[in-house]
Copies of this chain bind each other. A is one copy, B any other.
């Protein structure tokens, strides 16, 4: 933001507006705002009748640029050394660029400052059979330790229990940037003998939060709406099946229009590279066959940096991410890394040749978190809202 612009492109569009006073008074009275506008103490007009029956609209069709300014030269004699303060968002009037620099370049900074001040919210759902390393992966991704005093249920408890929903919220602050992360878990999913409708708890949760948001959004007080909608669902696929299981297809089909599903191939350290690539191909072909909508990483724009383009390509190639999580830290070449230590070697979580963990983390946090939030709000929530509207057709013209 310290540089000035070398080029300003200016184009002009003119829109004509036409209305009549007659219409307009009716609108004003209808709107009931009249009482707000007039303060008897300050109403300085004594006539109550509008004298101008019609308001005419003039539109100027002009195409201009700053280059047509009149020029004039004077002696620089009486110059009283103008003080030129700097703009916080950029340099104020770079010398010699008087007619070029407006200050539009400060706008992204202004937006950024507002966003940082407000803080970020991300709601992540993790779904998968127990034992696939969901908690460990979340802990590895966010360097935290959720579920620290979790009690593992015995098999007798598992027989009795049903699918539930738990929700943990954690605030992460890095260099003044605040993220409120909520991890939504569905313990018990896929554990029963008959897993019929075991995805319903997740579906219900997603729908319920969409509905809460919708009600808040059309309600009277929406200044402090918190966004509890699920922005992403990490779906854990077992490495031991041959592709997807029926329950996987069932779950993903039930939620794919409601939430961004990111499939992960769990515990990938039990698969050789060849087995991993075969398993990924199988999973992708089944996702395609059953027309399951998973989160799509958007194409890069031409102006994106090469590094970003390369990373996006790697992310796209890695789907479904074959991941390994670990809460064990070992020292490797003087660095402390998360790893799993086997007698035959050490699996490093963040080593891209060992797993897709870094690609998943890049996508989920460092490059596409805003995309996930954006897609949830502008696509998935919009679909939900439109469906709600269509069920209440009388509301359309309110």
A155 at the interface (CB under 8 A from B): no
The answer to whether A242 has its CB under 8 Å from any CB of chain B is no
* Contact between chains at B57 and A329 (CB < 8 Å): no
Residue of B nearest to A367 (CB): B88
In chain A, residues 25-81, which have Cβ atoms closer than 8 Å to a Cβ of chain B?
A: 25, 27-28, 31-33, 36-39, 41-47, 50-52, 54-66, 68-74, 76, 78-80
| B98 and A58 within 8 A (CB) | no
Q: How far does the alpha carbon of A150 sit from the alpha carbon of B178 in the complex, in Å? A: 51
Instruction: Please give, as numbers and ranges, the residues of chain B lying within 8 Å of A303 by CB-CB distance.
Output: 176
For A55, what are the chain B residues with a Cβ–Cβ distance below 8 Å?
162-165, 201
**One of A262-270, A272-280, A340-348 at the interface:** A340-348
Distance in Å: Cβ of A2 to nearest Cβ of chain B:
11
Contact B146 A338 (CB under 8 A): no
Query: B249, A93: Cβ atoms under 8 Å?
Result: no
What's the Cα separation between A248 and B115 when bound, in Å?
Answer: 36
| Bitwise interface map of A from 129 to 162 toward B, beta carbon under 8 Å scored 1, else 0 | 0000000000101111111111000000000011
Which residues in B have their C-beta under 8 angstroms from that of A291?
39, 42
Write the A103-137 contact mask toward B (1 if CB under 8 angstroms, else 0): 11111111111111100100000000000000000
Check B307–A86 contact: CB distance below 8 A.
Answer: yes
Q: Chain B nearest CB: distance from A351 CB in Å? A: 4
CB <8 Å contact, B370 and A110: yes
List the 4 closest pairs (A to B, CB-CB), nearest first. A64-B145, A82-B351, A52-B162, A110-B370
Question: Can you list 27 A-B contacts with CB-CB less than 8 angstroms, sorted by A residue number?
Answer: A24-B208, A43-B250, A45-B197, A50-B197, A51-B192, A52-B162, A56-B164, A58-B166, A65-B145, A66-B143, A66-B144, A70-B329, A74-B330, A74-B346, A79-B333, A86-B307, A87-B362, A88-B308, A98-B335, A102-B142, A104-B172, A107-B115, A107-B179, A108-B177, A110-B368, A111-B115, A220-B389
